Amino acid sequence: MFRRAAVLVAALLASLPRLGAADEPSSQWKYDNPFCQVVASVVPIPDVVASIAAIGGETRYALDLFTADGTTLAAHVTLVSDTDAYDAGVPDGNLSGPPNDRNLEPLIVTLPAGDTIDYFYVDSYSLDHGAAVTCPSYVFPIGEKLSSAPAGLRSIEAQHLQKIPPLKCGKVYIQPRLRGDLTSPMGAYGGKPLTVVALAYIDSNGYSIKEEIVQSSGVDGMDKYMLGAVGVHQFSPAQFLCVPVVGEMEITLKYFP
């Protein structure tokens, strides 16, 4: 049984005294993600469909779910606006696609009219009718509006979890950030400027639990230096409802001879 509502209530109540935008993720992201075995994409549906939906007093979003392996998937996805939180309970469905890149048939999530979702994350999932697995709050922004929406998609109604109280940190979600500067490169890496970019998966304490090069400098020593510097750096972790959560961040390091 999923327990998202109880977990979110606890987080929100704790906030009272003190308290990865997401287009369809690439397969590489799915393989590398250390926080949750299931990843989602949530985007607004086109205006023409939204205008029809508004007649029924609803707003709608398209929801896609992806996982590496499995035959069936059920999940709970938490959707968050500036004022409210909702639970999209996705019933068990068949996965399709090649091995290591499976997906559930897209569906439409309906919400009360007038509320605009800003962020989402996969709260929990069940693969192949197994026990539910809870994911950390790995928060993503809503993606860009679709240019069109396929007809005949199944629809589910998101359930209201609760109102979000005023937040002392001022924002529902704050991205992870560098805490001070990354250590400058030490050593000689050639006679021309170099740039290397790393992706860090950062835990709620601000430390990278996994880092990888997404843009190589072309010099092996420089790339290795970057991975080491990211691995020991303490970041300011992401915050969700003013509580530290896991997140990801791209970091750029430049070398000048």
pTM for this entry: 0.80
Contacts 24+ apart (CB under 8 A), 96-103: 99/69, 100/27, 100/31, 100/68, 100/69, 101/27, 101/30, 101/66, 101/68, 102/66, 102/67, 102/68, 102/69, 102/70, 102/73, 103/64, 103/65, 103/66, 103/67
- How far is it, in rounded angstroms, from Cα 228 to Cα 217? 15
Question: pLDDT for 162-203, tens place per residue?
Answer: 999 899 999 999 999 999 888 777 777 788 899 999 999 999
pLDDT value of residue 147: 59
pLDDT value of residue 45: 85
Provide CATH 3.30.2420 ranges for the chain.
175-255
- How far is it, in rounded angstroms, from Cα 201 to Cα 210? 5
More confident position, 238 or 21: 238
CATH number of 175-255: 3.30.2420
pLDDT value of residue 2: 29
- How far is it, in rounded angstroms, from Cα 63 to Cα 74? 13
% of the chain residues with pLDDT over 90: 61
Question: pLDDT for 105-114, tens place per residue?
Answer: 999 999 877 7
Query: Under a CB-based contact definition with an 8 Å cutoff, are residues 104 and 90 in contact?
Result: yes
% of the chain residues with pLDDT over 70: 80
pLDDT value of residue 246: 96
Question: pLDDT for 119-158, tens place per residue?
Answer: 999 999 999 999 999 999 999 999 876 656 667 788 999 9
Tell me the mean pLDDT in the region 55-80.
87
More confident position, 254 or 87: 87
Tell me the mean pLDDT in the region 25-39.
72
The single residue listed with the structure tokens 């779910």 is: 65
**Local confidence band at 60 (pLDDT 50, 70, 90 cut-offs):** confident
Task: Flag whether pLDDT at 55 surpasses 70.
Answer: no
The single residue listed with the structure tokens 């009272």 is: 16
Task: Flag whether pLDDT at 226 surpasses 90.
Answer: yes
pLDDT value of residue 180: 86
